A and B are shown apart, each in its own frame.
Chain A
Amino acid sequence: MSDLIKLLEKNGLVFAFLVVGVIMYGSYYISKKITKSRIPGAAIAISFGLVIAYFGGDNGIASIPAFSGMAILGGSMLRDFSIVSTALGASFTEIKKTGWIGLLSLIIGTVVAFLMGGSIAYVMGYQDAKSVATIGAGACTFIVGPVTGSALGASSDVIAISIAIGVIKSIIVTISTAFLAKPLGINNPQTAMIFGGLVGSTSGVSAGLAATDPKLVPYGALTATFHTAMGCLLCPSVLYYFVYQILS
């Protein structure tokens, strides 16, 4: 048994591929069969990750030697690298088509989510600039939170909260979009683009619009993709600087 653990520890990254692969398979299966795709597989998989982290220690599941490779796969280098690659799906020629309203909704969506999240965090006792900015960034998407948190050097528990916020947000968006589409007037490409830019959360926006009107998915997903890029750009820089100036 101890030989097996040593072997897994030595081949940590490869074992992490297997572990995450199994989690992804299970989560997408649950998403499709049990929730009828109402909750995105990605949101289930990330929630599952947070749950198993509970059984570890300071470094989550990676505190258990056999799972130490998870810290390499989920470390900041590979994470930031894979996040940057998602920008390939976004194109300026496309965003230009949405015009200034697409850009405006992106900026407003990022700033409003950040300020709301940051103020609530402050009121509830997270009062240092790094934590306020990380939790505020988490209110954008589950990517912007950890990217901001590790760029600024926030603590792991605050980063975990920021991931959880983004995941809960994507679940809320996915489930509520179909119900709210009518009262909010999300029935044409322009509103779908405004919706994607304001709310972000690509998985939530895509799944929510798919349940509303599949024709609107590409419009919402287009601006939502830029939301993460906008958040990663603004939150750890301008917005953090703003928070830092106020709190110091």
Chain B
Amino acid sequence: MKIYGVAILAVCFLIGQIMGHFLGKAFQLAGNLGGVGFAMLILVISNDYFKRKNLLQPETENGILFWTSMYIPVVVAMSATQNVKAALSGGWVAIIVAIVATAACYSLIPVLNKFANKNAKNI
């Protein structure tokens, strides 16, 4: 049943939230530190485990995949509910950060590639 998949997703999500919450408390910072990231890791690990043991029925998986397909629509709704009027004053920040950060990542591609090739030869 699809709800099994949704329930598995819910367990991963809640464990991640709990971990993020307590990590925030441990460092005396308000907020949830990395809860979504932890939840994603837990889902990846349990998915690998289920696949190896052949435990995940396609129907169960469909329950999770439904939410995967809802992710862009949800992000669209999220974008539509932000305070864009106030953000416009920072429009230049957005454009400059996007260009500089992307360019920086691009420029590292040949560097990492060379590094990988060099080490491959050494091995």
Inter-subunit contact A161/B94 (CB<8 Å)? yes
B104 — which chain A residues lie within 8 A by C-beta? Answer: 112-113, 116
Inter-subunit contact B106/A79 (CB<8 Å)? no
Of the residues A49, A117, A142, A166, contact of B80 by C-beta under 8 Å: A49
> For chain A, what secondary structure do more than half of its interface residues adopt (helix, strand, loop), or is it mixed?
helix
Q: Which B residues contact A (CB, under 8 angstroms)?
A: 9-10, 12-13, 16-17, 20, 23, 27, 29-41, 43-45, 47-48, 51, 61, 64-65, 67-68, 70-102, 104-106, 108-110, 112-113, 115-116
Q: Which A residues contact B (CB, under 8 angstroms)?
A: 16, 19-21, 23-24, 42, 45-54, 56-62, 67, 70-71, 73-75, 78-93, 101, 104-105, 108-109, 112-113, 116-117, 120-121, 124, 126, 135, 138-139, 142-143, 146-147, 151-153, 155-161, 163-166, 168-169, 172-173, 176, 180, 184-186, 190-191, 194-195, 198-200, 228-238, 240-241, 244
Given contacts A60-B79, A60-B83, A71-B81, 16 further A-B contacts (CB under 8 A): A20-B77, A46-B72, A50-B80, A60-B81, A80-B13, A81-B67, A85-B71, A86-B68, A92-B48, A155-B83, A158-B87, A158-B90, A159-B82, A234-B34, A234-B37, A235-B34
